[in-house]
Amino acid sequence: MTTKIDENPFKTLVHAHVSSFNEAMARVNDVVIDLIPEEYQIGENAPVRFWIRSLDIEKPRVVNNLIGDEPLYPSECRERNLSYTGKIVGEIVYQIGNGFTKVFQYDFGRIPIMVQSTLCNLHGLTKEQLIEHKEEETEAGGYFIIGGIERLIRLIFQQRRNHPLAIIRPVFEGKGPGYTKYATMIRCTHKDESSVRISLHYIKTGDVDCRISLQKRQFFVPIIILLKSMTEASDKEIFDRLCEPFMRSNDKKTRQKQNKKIDSFITERIEMMLHTKHKYDLSTRSEYLAFLGSRFRVRMRLNKVITDEQAGKEFLRRYILVHLDNVNSKFDLMIHMLHKLYALILGEISPDNPDTPSFQEVLLPGDLYLMYLRYQLQNWLNYQSVVMKKLLENSGDPDNVKLLYEDKFFQEALKKNKFSITQRFQYFLATGNVVHDGSLGLPQTTGFSIVAEKLNIFRYLSHFRAIHKGAYFVNMKTTEIRKLLPEYWGFVCPIHTPDGTPCGLLNHFAQTCQIVTNLKYEDKMLVTTLRKLISEIEGVIPIDPYLIKDKEVLPIFLNGCLINRCYQNKLEAITDQLRWLKINSKLGVPNNLEIVSIPRTLGDIFPGLFLFTCHSRMIRPVLNLRFNKVEFIGTMEQMYLSVAAKRSEIVEKKTTHLELEQQNILSLIASLTPFSDFNQSPRNMYQCQMGKQTMGTPSLTWPTRSDNKMYRLISPQLPLVRNKNYLKFGMQNFPQGTNAMIAVISYTGYDMEDAMIINRASWQRGFAHGCIYKEMVIDLGEKSGGKRPKTFKQCQFVFQNYLPSEPEKKINERLGLDGLPEIGDFIKHGDPLYSRYSLKENRVILERHKGENCYIDQIRILSLDYEDKYVELMANTIGSLQCTKVSMKIRIVRNPVVGDKFSSRHGQKGVLSQLWPEENMPFTQDGLRPDVIINPHAFPSRMTIGMLIEAMAGKVASMDGKVQDGTTFQFSEKDRAIDFFGKKLRKAGYNYYGSENLYSGISGEPLHSDIFFGMVYYQRLRHMVGDKYQVRSTGKINNLTHQPVKGRKVGGGIRFGEMERDSLLAHGASFFLQDRLLNSSDVHLSYACKKCSTILSVIPSVKPSVSGNNYENLAKCSICGEKKNVIKIQIPYVFRYLVTELMAMNIKLSLLFDDFKKN
């Protein structure tokens, strides 16, 4: 098996993250230009204006007390729990009227920088230089470091930009009186990637309203108002444009029949829509613009100097089809949306499904980062305006214009502006929450960032290829959104999704799926070139509808802009010509151009030629059979192509494309499962999840990393059965398991119900041995009380194990003079961990270890101040060094014990039940003994045939000394896997089907049946008894039910459920059951009235006795008023809670007592 190994294969996996961030940083100043300047008037004087002219984002740097600034690297931020940030500096222009102008430099603070982006100090370094800076040679970045923790912005599906969808939703009927369920909606994007959604709603009267959202409030505008404000077109011209697609047919008889049906519906509704404008008594375009401006100017916070007409133009620019600059283009697209709406109402087209990938794109990290930065800069400008007004008011003369001309005034206002962009970015990336006023057009406000856990390499890489459908759907009861649709083929993996609550919502990209991130494809020059090129193709005609009246024509859209039209019979030829130019990258046509050709013959889909070059689209490579070249196709484009999975499925004159490899439909993690096409599909899903829970080799830089918790397998091996992608993506550097000889046999009672037996000798040789590294940051500044000290001199404590009066005498012999343990020390629970000396009290305080037994693996000395790279150290009388903050890494040995979890690569998980002596294990004729014994019942119901084939292939690999290929879809019914490996086994002298004769290790007698025996790659999962065992006698209880709380961390109880109850009843231990569920849980003594049959009517009272020293406890029923029938009974407290809840619903629960029966 020969596979080409990439230079750094991980870069392709994180490309969408890094590239989008680079693109965002490259156009920061383009976005800054579009910020709305702050402007306000002081009396009748000239207006005061200020705005941000430019921004400069610097690479992360740190202050060095010796040589000044020097680069800050990610490894240092991880060690010191810092954030990897760069300074953001801008130029602010301050202007009064059109004359006085000043430019001020301002430091906006620090914003997080993505690792390995162009602003990162690691960018462009060689492998050797990366290793020198404590990074892996394959470090690809794509994440941020916030407080020492690696976090990334997750990818999220959102509606495809600039393309209208026809929607039917009953909820639309509640938008207002007369509203129907029919609408067309479109999402348009600004330069900063913030978006504006508008919807056209059909009303029963025939009118259409446009719904827009401003600052989280919805507004409805009659569509005729918008159309009239965009153009000077007459009512007749608008009428003709709207009727146009419904009145055309090449055949006159057909056209006449169509007109009879359509005239009565379309023309009446268009006339009703045109009549709506008479309510407003408007005629010219200027009046319509002024009407819009007068209604929305307050919401847009416009200056009084701006006229209503200008405000109307600004409203169209900001909120109506914002991706188009030309109002004529806006008019054309609005007409197209109305065409689609009327076609939907007539039933000529089916409604679009916005939850299919055809109408979706990806919200990229760089886009979200950029729009959030613009939003916070705009907020900063608004806040600065408030600060300046307050300064003027506090000066004593709010109309003092002379004060505005002084530099000190604006500089003072800048100093008093406490709006922190730094804190808001830290909060955004640390929590994943985006707080905004609705102007960003985001699909959600929470869950944008996650921790890039490095549990193992599978889990780490899957974060960058994961994509979520949105937080909105998490709590929805409907399962429609979770279904795997055919449109996902090749773009989203059908296997790699969790099997719990996020099933179907959290998906992963297929391995060849790419996201377009380069903005050069949206450049105006490129779009202009494309428009000119398309207009010269034969069959393409201009937009003007009056040039063609009797021919069927279709619209041609480029990124949501109507550029041309074409004849129906020329559509295929135009598409083929564009596809040839795209594949060969000729005449400036980009190779990722999405060509969606929809002819009228498809019937229920709105026809046209739709072209897309915008970014955030999903594309993937396939082979174009006509031109025999690789072509990138998009999600919407794929719907109208015929793509064969393999050559045998090609249908002549119908199939247009062919998959490059059959396994390309799988994600990277799913493609690493050997022979996955032989397994039941849920098992492959489970392996994708368990592969991400495996103890392996998470990082090659584990000695220098400072993660809170890191799992590591001490003796990993490379699998003998591998897939093509294993070497292609560099997985050989991060092994995650061990090759084990397995015997499928029911040998003892210890292998029932997924339990597995491990050979004790294999365990003693290091089988699946592992450890956990934990990082503890000990900051003595936090123990000082009050405000945390920033410098060494302000600290009240130092690490020290002696008194100043006796500098050579240790207080505790287990620790060094510096108060810290030695590297390699074995620490038990209760042993001294470190000691600190109190400068105020002149005494040494000893701190002891709480937790598991461990080894001290590493101790790092950290500095206090964020800006200071070097630790402030102070030499004492004997020349040793003192410090106040250290990072201590401990190593906890975690060799397999009974109860630890294991798994094969086929979802066959099992728990270690016994370490069986080697001399008692079954053995073969050659003397081989299995490392693992599993039960045969694990296979019939789960149907993991891939594991059986892997066992045969592993046996072949161990005999031949060659790695076997387990790539998916390589075998078929004609070329069977069992025949391929069976022949090789027979050639080596083994059974054709992988079975062998075994002898009992206890008696030495041969076993009567052949036992399946082979080599399988086993994974040790992170679920270990050492982390889960729980012991409790007494502890916290729930205040409401008086039952023990749950949770190991809070000292909770162990759940005793139905299965445990059934097992005790089966054993006849019913009294023990009462002890567990009552006496040791929520036993409660309660008064009850035998006559009234209730526990709620009794009122206990306390009365002094005759002697006056003691108190007599009396109880009386409040219903019957008697005391003689009151008794004490023992019940669970939760029963009392139940009776109380029923009483609140006016339901009485009666109790019957044996010694008191009513007639």
Per-residue pLDDT of 578-621, as tens digits, reads 999 999 888 888 999 999 999 887 778 899 999 999 999 999 99
In a shared domain, residues 165 and 206: yes
Q: Where a domain ends, among 305, 323, 353? A: 353
Q: What integer pLDDT is reported at residue 866 of this predicted model?
A: 44
- pLDDT over 90 at 301, yes or no: no
- pLDDT over 90 at 950, yes or no: yes
Residue 649 lies in a domain: yes
Query: Which region among 217-221, 279-283, 480-484 has the lowest average model confidence (pLDDT)?
Result: 279-283
Q: Give the model's confidence band at 1112: pLDDT under 50 very low, under 70 low, under 90 confident, else very high.
A: low
pLDDT tens-digit readout, 329-351: 999 999 999 999 999 998 889 99
Query: What CATH number is given to the structural domain containing 523?
Result: 3.90.1070.20
Query: What CATH number is given to the structural domain containing 739?
Result: 2.40.270.10
In a shared domain, residues 140 and 279: no
- CA 17 to CA 14: how far, in whole Å? 5
In a shared domain, residues 294 and 223: yes
Amino acid code (one letter) for 48: V
Q: What integer pLDDT is reported at residue 991 of this predicted model?
A: 93
Angle at 328 between CA 519 and CA 236, to 5 degrees: 150
In a shared domain, residues 979 and 994: yes
Could you tell me the CA-to-CA distances from 847 to 465, 800, 827, 888 in Å, in that order?
44, 12, 12, 14
Q: Where a domain ends, among 332, 353, 374? A: 353
Helix axes 235-243, 327-346, angle to 10 degrees: 50
In a shared domain, residues 719 and 661: no
Overall size of the chain counted in residues: 1159
Domains contained in the chain, number: 7
In a shared domain, residues 759 and 866: no
Q: What integer pLDDT is reported at residue 47 of this predicted model?
A: 80
In a shared domain, residues 212 and 301: yes
pLDDT tens-digit readout, 643-681: 999 999 999 989 999 999 999 999 999 999 999 999 999
Phi first, then psi: give them for residue 673, nearest 5 degrees. Answer: -80, 120
Query: What CATH number is given to the structural domain containing 1064?
Result: 3.90.1800.10
- Token look-up 């909820």 returns 171
Q: Give the model's confidence band at 870: pLDDT under 50 very low, under 70 low, under 90 confident, else very high.
A: very low
Could you tell me the CA-to-CA distances from 804 to 814, 820, 861, 958 in Å, in that order?
19, 17, 22, 66
Residue 202 lies in a domain: yes
For strands 38-40 and 755-759, give the pairing.
unpaired
Query: Which region among 88-92, 234-238, 726-730, 914-918 has the lowest average model confidence (pLDDT)?
Result: 234-238
Residue 478 lies in a domain: no
3-state helix, strand, coil split of the chain in percent (to 5) is 30, 25, 45
- pLDDT over 50 at 873, yes or no: no
In a shared domain, residues 626 and 536: yes
Q: Enumerate the β-bridge partners of residue 50.
A: 38, 94
Q: What integer pLDDT is reported at residue 1110 of this predicted model?
A: 56
Q: Are 452 and 465 in contact (CB under 8 A)?
A: no
User: What's the average model confidence in pLDDT over 1075-1103?
Assistant: 87
Which domain, by its residues, includes 589?
514-665
Q: What is the mean pLDDT of the chain?
A: 88
- pLDDT over 50 at 128, yes or no: yes
In degrees to the nearest 10, what's the CA dihedral of 362, 368, 369, 374? 140
Q: What integer pLDDT is reported at residue 763 of this predicted model?
A: 96
Residue 1152 lies in a domain: no
More confident residue, 43 or 13: 13
Instruction: Tally the C-alpha atoms within 13 A of residue 590's C-alpha that lie toward its C-beta.
Output: 23
Q: Are 338 and 186 in contact (CB under 8 A)?
A: no
Residue 1025 lies in a domain: no
In a shared domain, residues 879 and 1011: no
Residue 436 lies in a domain: no
Q: Give the model's confidence band at 1074: pLDDT under 50 very low, under 70 low, under 90 confident, else very high.
A: confident
Residue 941 lies in a domain: yes
Ranges assigned E (strand) in 814-877: 826-827, 832-838, 843-848, 854-861, 874-875
Q: Give the model's confidence band at 215: pLDDT under 50 very low, under 70 low, under 90 confident, else very high.
A: confident
Q: What integer pLDDT is reported at residue 876 of this predicted model?
A: 35
Q: What integer pLDDT is reported at residue 519 of this predicted model?
A: 81
- Report which of 667, 661, 621, 631 is spatially closest to residue 645, judged by C-alpha positions: 661
Residue 695 lies in a domain: yes
Q: What integer pLDDT is reported at residue 537 of this predicted model?
A: 85
In a shared domain, residues 79 and 134: yes
Q: Where a domain ends, among 665, 698, 716? A: 665
Query: Which region among 106-115, 244-253, 1042-1051, 1090-1099 has the lowest average model confidence (pLDDT)?
Result: 244-253
Q: What integer pLDDT is reported at residue 872 of this predicted model?
A: 39
Q: What integer pLDDT is reported at residue 1103 of this predicted model?
A: 62
Question: What is the SS3 assignment for 7-54?
Answer: CCCHHHHCHHHHHHHHHHHHCHHHHHHCCCCEEECCCCCCCEEEEEEE
**3-state SS, residue 184:** strand
In a shared domain, residues 176 and 297: yes
In a shared domain, residues 859 and 820: yes
Residue 1068: CB atoms within 10 A of its CB come to: 9
| pTM of the predicted model over 0.85 | yes
Could you tell me the CA-to-CA distances from 196 to 433, 471, 916 in Å, in that order?
20, 20, 66
